C-alpha cells in the first residue's frame, strides 16, 4: 500500500505516527509519514479544504505479513521488570513535559495513579521535533536518546498514555535511526497503571 499518512490535527504527527505504526504492524510495507504533518503544511500556507469526500465502500482483505515484533504487550513489560521472570535489559522511554514518564493526564481512560514504569527513561516525544513539527536530524536524535542511555544495542519499549505519543518515539528510533529492536507498548499507562500490584516508581 502506498499512501500519505497525516493527522487531522497538529500535535507534530502524534496521530499520524500512530496510524503509521498500526499499518506497519498489520503488514503494510509502503507507508509514508508527512514530515512536519499538518503543522508545517499550514505554516507554509499550503492549500486546505473542508470538502467532505464520499468514498465508495469496497471490500479489502489484508494479505501482508504482520510485524508483531513492533508491538509490546503488558506481559512482556512485566517480564522485563522481573515480575514474571528474571529481567532483561530493556529501557522504556516515554512521557510528556512536566509529568513523569507515562503519568496519566486527566483524560478519560487514564491509569488509576501517577508515576511511571520502573526504570523508564523520560524522553518527551516533543524533544524529537523541531518548531515546525519536522523531526530533528539523525545526529540530534541519537544524542537526545543516548543522553538517557537509549542506544541501538538496547532493547527498547516506548510507551506514553495510550500509545500515540510513543508511536512518534517508535518512528524516530526504528524508522529514522534504524535501531533494530524497538517496540511500541500501545496499552501504555492506561493499561499498565490500572491493575493492582503492577510495580510503579514515583519521582
CB 80 within 8 A of CB 72: no
All three cell numbers of 145 = 536518546
Active site residue 5: no
Q: Which of 101, 150, 160, 173 does the annotation list as catalytic?
A: 160
Q: How many CB atoms lie within 10 A of CB 35?
A: 15
State the pLDDT at residue 180.
Answer: 95
Q: Tell which residue, 7, 9, 12, has the closest CA to residue 126.
A: 12
All three cell numbers of 193 = 497503571
State the pLDDT at residue 137.
Answer: 98
Strand partners, 32: 4
Q: What is the model's pTM?
A: 0.81
Low-confidence ranges of the chain (pLDDT < 70): 1-10, 82-113, 196, 203
Amino acid at each position: 500500500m502506498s499512501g500519505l499518512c497525516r493527522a487531522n490535527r497538529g500535535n507534530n504527527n502524534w496521530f499520524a505516527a500512530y496510524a503509521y505504526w498500526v499499518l506497519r504492524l498489520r503488514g503494510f510495507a509502503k507507508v509514508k509519514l508527512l514530515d512536519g504533518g499538518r503543522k508545517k503544511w499550514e505554516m507554509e500556507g499550503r492549500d486546505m479544504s473542508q470538502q467532505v469526500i464520499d468514498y465508495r465502500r469496497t471490500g479489502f482483505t489484508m494479505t501482508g505479513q504482520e510485524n508483531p515484533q513492533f508491538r509490546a504487550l503488558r506481559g512482556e513489560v512485566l517480564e522485563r521488570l522481573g515480575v514474571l521472570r528474571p529481567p532483561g535489559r530493556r529501557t522504556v522511554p516515554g512521557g510528556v513535559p512536566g509529568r513523569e514518564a507515562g503519568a496519566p493526564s486527566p483524560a478519560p481512560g487514564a491509569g488509576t495513579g501517577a508515576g511511571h514504569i520502573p526504570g523508564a527513561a523520560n524522553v518527551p516525544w516533543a524533544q524529537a521535533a523541531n518548531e515546525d513539527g519536522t523531526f530533528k536530524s539523525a545526529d540530534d536524535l541519537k544524542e537526545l536518546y543516548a543522553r538517557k542511555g537509549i542506544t541501538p544495542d538496547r532493547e527498547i519499549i516506548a510507551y506514553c498514555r495510550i500509545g500515540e505519543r510513543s508511536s512518534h518515539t517508535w518512528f524516530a528510533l526504528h524508522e529514522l535511526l534504524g535501531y533494530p529492536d524497538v517496540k511500541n507498548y500501545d496499552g501504555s499507562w492506561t493499561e499498565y497503571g490500572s491493575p493492582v500490584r503492577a510495580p510503579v516508581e514515583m519521582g
